[in-house]
């Protein structure tokens, strides 16, 4: 899909799989990326930035598979990120080649601080590189996006020159990134207006924006950019990303949905127009948020706008009374508009495999036969333990099954003994890929601590547990507990996630999930960060 010039709607460019994955501990494998990409397509995003193909063989494979399986006719444009170098661009071109609509997103820094200390290049050199590399990207696809990195701190006059050169060389989208989250809304809006007013050929490209949330202003900045001519927003599910994250897709979309009459005139529409400002299917928002949260092991804070657990909860008696009389007294949007509905009993212990598969399809999941078999066995096991099985329970089962790292260390047995007058003791048996089983035991300050100490006696990978959190999927004493942990190894963070009605079992599986991810990385060598270049495994964590 090549974006039309000056569209009368806003395009949503999702970078969850690229910038979002750069959140500490949020690394995704190929299958997990594919799962999220499929859901992003159901959500209705226009462009999926599927990764940075030159970074590693795994990233190339992920972008290539997403291009093949999600970038079909009628689906989203599949985009690959590339630095302004021939090797990056050529690799991105090969990765997106299978997509019906593919895009290369190339970038180079334009701020004086980046030119002096990172690139060590003059303005003239950067201008020449921009023209040459955009033209080279154009040999692989007609849809080329260009970004002047650190635009927010760039000299406007020089940035205008660079953007003009990029468009002249064939860029169809020019993206303006606030790379360090420095700007305020009025400044961001004025920057977009300046570009619209001073870049002579800007009418030949769509203006896009990208921004980080270091000051908590990313969403406000983007909405101000829309008022001043931006027509593509680069955002992530749940706002995940480096440091404080990116502008949150769900907040941007729902702000423009709820306040449509306010934003309509800025897009040349009548204020009372009911036509959506984006192509997003808002009823897929909550499901997408949950999926990304589970697969990245990054919980959504309860008071998070739109998708937080408290977003539609009312504690105050005055609020409760008003909502019961008329929801509009304290709610500006309906929970059902984002796909959040009451839990319903959907399946039971007598339900068969076909019924389970059908319900998964209705929830938006497509599992391979092997994954389906494992998920169904977990479902049957849960159905013997729980009286009521809800959609949320099923989602927890599937997410737990589809997000597991390669199992180098498999849990065969975990058993704990604890109480207020005994010392917590755990026995753990693990199986290696070679089929060998090892058992050890340890004591700790609590049952989970004892389990982790036992695992550490069996798996000789030094690490530091830096986060342990438990969240109930549903209400009730028999609820599934989701455990998320983060461990640090040489300053690099790895996450693990698991769900089970037994919280000790879930805790053990989550820990092994993190260790398996760590083990995979330790078998590799180099990482390449799009902004910071090549680095060793130890150095990669510091970015």
513's CB contacts (< 8 A; 6+ apart) are: 403, 404, 405, 496, 497, 498
User: Which of 101-110, 116-125, 289-298, 492-501 is most confident?
Assistant: 101-110
Per-residue pLDDT band at 320 (split at 50, 70, 90): very low
What integer pLDDT is reported at residue 377 of this predicted model?
A: 86
Of the candidates 20, 22, 25, 19, the one whose C-alpha atom is nearest the C-alpha of residue 469 is 25
Judge whether residue 499 has pLDDT over 90: no
Structure-block tokens of residue 233: 């927003």
Same structural domain, 336 and 349: no
Same structural domain, 442 and 375: no
Same structural domain, 285 and 365: no
Same structural domain, 139 and 225: yes
Judge whether residue 364 has pLDDT over 90: no
Task: Work out how many domains the chain is built from and give that number.
Answer: 4
Structure-block tokens of residue 83: 């630095």
Same structural domain, 331 and 362: no
Tell me which of 179 and 352 has the higher pLDDT.
Answer: 179
Structure-block tokens of residue 174: 């020019």
In a domain, 538, yes or no: no
3-state helix, strand, coil in the chain (%, to 5): 45, 20, 35
In a domain, 536, yes or no: no
What integer pLDDT is reported at residue 475 of this predicted model?
A: 65
Same structural domain, 139 and 15: yes
What integer pLDDT is reported at residue 313 of this predicted model?
A: 64
Least confident window among 3-7, 107-111, 162-166, 243-247:
3-7
Judge whether residue 479 has pLDDT over 80: no
Which CATH number fits the domain that encloses residue 115? Answer: 3.20.20.70
What integer pLDDT is reported at residue 167 of this predicted model?
A: 98
Judge whether residue 450 has pLDDT over 50: yes
What number is the average pLDDT over the span 373-388?
A: 80
Same structural domain, 380 and 275: no
Query: Measured between alpha carbons, how far is 93 from 91 in angstroms, rounded to an integer?
Result: 5
Q: List residues bridging with 443 in a β-sheet.
A: 425
Tell me which of 328 and 95 has the higher pLDDT.
Answer: 95
Query: Measured between alpha carbons, how far is 87 from 84 in angstroms, rounded to an integer?
Result: 9
What integer pLDDT is reported at residue 219 of this predicted model?
A: 98
Write down the residue that tokens 């019906």 correspond to: 100
* Contact indicator for 93, 141 with CB cutoff of 8 Å: yes
* Contact indicator for 291, 285 with CB cutoff of 8 Å: no
What integer pLDDT is reported at residue 542 of this predicted model?
A: 32
116's CB contacts (< 8 A; 6+ apart) are: none
In a domain, 360, yes or no: yes
Which of 369, 402, 435 is where one domain is finished? 402
Same structural domain, 521 and 375: no
Same structural domain, 129 and 142: yes
Q: List residues bridging with 465 in a β-sheet.
A: 487
Same structural domain, 60 and 179: yes
> How much of the chain, in percent, has pLDDT values that exceed 70?
87
Write down the residue that tokens 């897009």 correspond to: 267
Judge whether residue 152 has pLDDT over 50: yes
Distances in whole angstroms, Cα of residue 190 to Cα of each of 108, 165, 180, 198, 226? 22, 21, 18, 12, 11
Of the candidates 83, 9, 20, the one whose C-alpha atom is nearest the C-alpha of residue 46 is 9
Write down the residue that tokens 């820990």 correspond to: 511
Q: 520: number of CA atoms within 13 Å, CB side?
A: 17
Tell me which of 331 and 165 has the higher pLDDT.
Answer: 165
Judge whether residue 34 has pLDDT over 80: yes
In a domain, 164, yes or no: yes
What number is the average pLDDT over the span 217-232?
A: 97
What number is the average pLDDT over the span 292-310?
A: 85
Same structural domain, 181 and 263: yes
* Contact indicator for 195, 163 with CB cutoff of 8 Å: yes
Least confident window among 88-97, 185-194, 195-204, 307-316:
307-316
Strand, helix or coil at 502?
A: coil
Query: Measured between alpha carbons, how far is 518 from 461 in angstroms, rounded to an integer?
Result: 8
Judge whether residue 410 has pLDDT over 50: yes
Backbone angles phi, psi at 205, to 5 degrees: -145, 155
Judge whether residue 125 has pLDDT over 80: yes
In a domain, 325, yes or no: yes
What integer pLDDT is reported at residue 433 of this predicted model?
A: 76
Average pLDDT, the chain: 87
What integer pLDDT is reported at residue 543 of this predicted model?
A: 32
- Residue 322 structural domain: 311-340
Which CATH number fits the domain that encloses residue 451? Answer: 3.30.160.270
In a domain, 303, yes or no: no
Same structural domain, 78 and 163: yes
Write down the residue that tokens 């203006």 correspond to: 207
Judge whether residue 541 has pLDDT over 60: no
In a domain, 283, yes or no: yes
What integer pLDDT is reported at residue 63 of this predicted model?
A: 97
Structure-block tokens of residue 111: 């701020």
Tell me which of 541 and 148 has the higher pLDDT.
Answer: 148
Of the candidates 471, 470, 430, 468, the one whose C-alpha atom is nearest the C-alpha of residue 449 is 468
Query: Measured between alpha carbons, how far is 455 from 416 in angstroms, rounded to an integer?
Result: 13
Q: List residues bridging with 178 in a β-sheet.
A: 211
In a domain, 539, yes or no: no
Per-residue pLDDT band at 540 (split at 50, 70, 90): very low
Judge whether residue 424 has pLDDT over 80: yes
Which of 232, 264, 296 is where one domain is finished? 296
Distances in whole angstroms, Cα of residue 87 to Cα of each of 92, 335, 385? 9, 47, 54
The structure's pTM equals 0.80
Which of 296, 330, 357 is where one domain is finished? 296
3-state secondary structure string across 436-470: CEEEEEEECCCHHHHHHHHHHHHCCCCCEEEEEEE
Judge whether residue 319 has pLDDT over 70: no
Q: Where are the alpha helices (DSSP H) in 236-284?
A: 249-258, 260-263
Judge whether residue 352 has pLDDT over 90: no
* Contact indicator for 255, 220 with CB cutoff of 8 Å: no
């Amino acid at each position: 899909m090549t974006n039309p010039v000056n569209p009368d709607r806003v395009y949503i460019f999702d970078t969850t799989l690229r910038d979002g994955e750069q959140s500490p501990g949020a690394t995704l494998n190929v299958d997990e990326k594919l799962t999220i990409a499929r859901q992003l397509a159901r959500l209705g995003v226009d462009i999926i930035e599927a990764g940075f193909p030159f970074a590693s063989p795994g990233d190339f494979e992920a972008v290539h598979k997403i291009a093949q399986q999600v970038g079909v006719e009628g689906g989203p444009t599949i985009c690959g990120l590339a630095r302004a170098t021939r090797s990056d661009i050529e690799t991105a071109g090969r990765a997106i080649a299978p997509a019906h609509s593919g895009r290369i997103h190339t970038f180079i820094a334009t701020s004086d601080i980046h030119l002096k200390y990172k690139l060590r290049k003059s303005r003239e050199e950067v201008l020449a590189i921009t023209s040459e590399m955009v033209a080279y990207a154009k040999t692989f696809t007609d849809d080329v996006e260009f970004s002047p990195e650190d635009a927010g701190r760039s000299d406007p006059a020089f940035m205008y020159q660079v953007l003009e050169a990029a468009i002249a060389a064939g860029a169809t989208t020019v993206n303006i990134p606030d790379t360090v989250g420095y700007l305020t809304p009025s400044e961001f809006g004025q920057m977009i207006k300046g570009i619209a007013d001073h870049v002579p050929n800007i009418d030949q490209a769509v203006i896009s924006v990208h921004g980080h949330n270091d000051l908590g202003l990313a969403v406000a900045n983007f909405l101000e950019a829309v008022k001043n001519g931006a027509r593509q927003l680069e955002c992530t599910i749940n706002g995940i990303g480096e440091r404080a994250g990116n502008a949150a897709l769900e907040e941007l979309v729902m702000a423009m949905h709820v306040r449509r009459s306010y934003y309509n005139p800025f897009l040349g529409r009548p204020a009372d127009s009911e036509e959506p400002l984006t192509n997003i299917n808002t009823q897929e928002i909550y499901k997408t948020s949950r999926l990304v949260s589970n697969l990245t092991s990054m919980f959504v804070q309860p008071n998070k706008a739109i998708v937080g657990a408290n977003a539609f909860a009312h504690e105050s008696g005055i609020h409760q009374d008003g909502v019961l009389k008329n929801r509009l007294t304290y709610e500006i949007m309906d929970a059902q508009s984002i796909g959040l509905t009451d839990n319903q009993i959907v399946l039971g212990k007598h339900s068969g495999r076909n019924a389970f598969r059908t319900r998964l399809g209705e929830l938006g999941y497509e599992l391979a036969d092997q994954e389906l078999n494992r998920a169904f066995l977990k479902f049957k096991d849960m159905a013997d333990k729980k009286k009521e099985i809800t959609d949320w329970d099923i989602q927890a089962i599937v997410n737990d099954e589809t997000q597991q790292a390669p199992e180098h260390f498999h849990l065969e047995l975990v058993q704990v003994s604890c109480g207020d007058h005994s010392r917590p003791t755990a026995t753990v048996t693990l199986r290696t890929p070679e089929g060998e089983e090892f058992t050890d035991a340890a004591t700790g300050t609590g049952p989970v601590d004892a389990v982790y100490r036992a695992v550490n006696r069996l798996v000789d990978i030094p690490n530091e547990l830096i986060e342990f959190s438990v969240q109930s999927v549903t209400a009730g004493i028999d609820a599934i507990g989701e455990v998320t942990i983060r461990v640090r190894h040489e300053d690099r963070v790895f996450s693990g996630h698991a769900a089970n009605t037994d919280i000790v079992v879930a805790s053990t599986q989550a820990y092994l999930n993190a260790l398996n991810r760590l083990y995979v990385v330790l078998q590799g060598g180099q990482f390449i960060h799009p902004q910071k270049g090549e680095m060793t495994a130890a150095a990669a964590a510091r970015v």
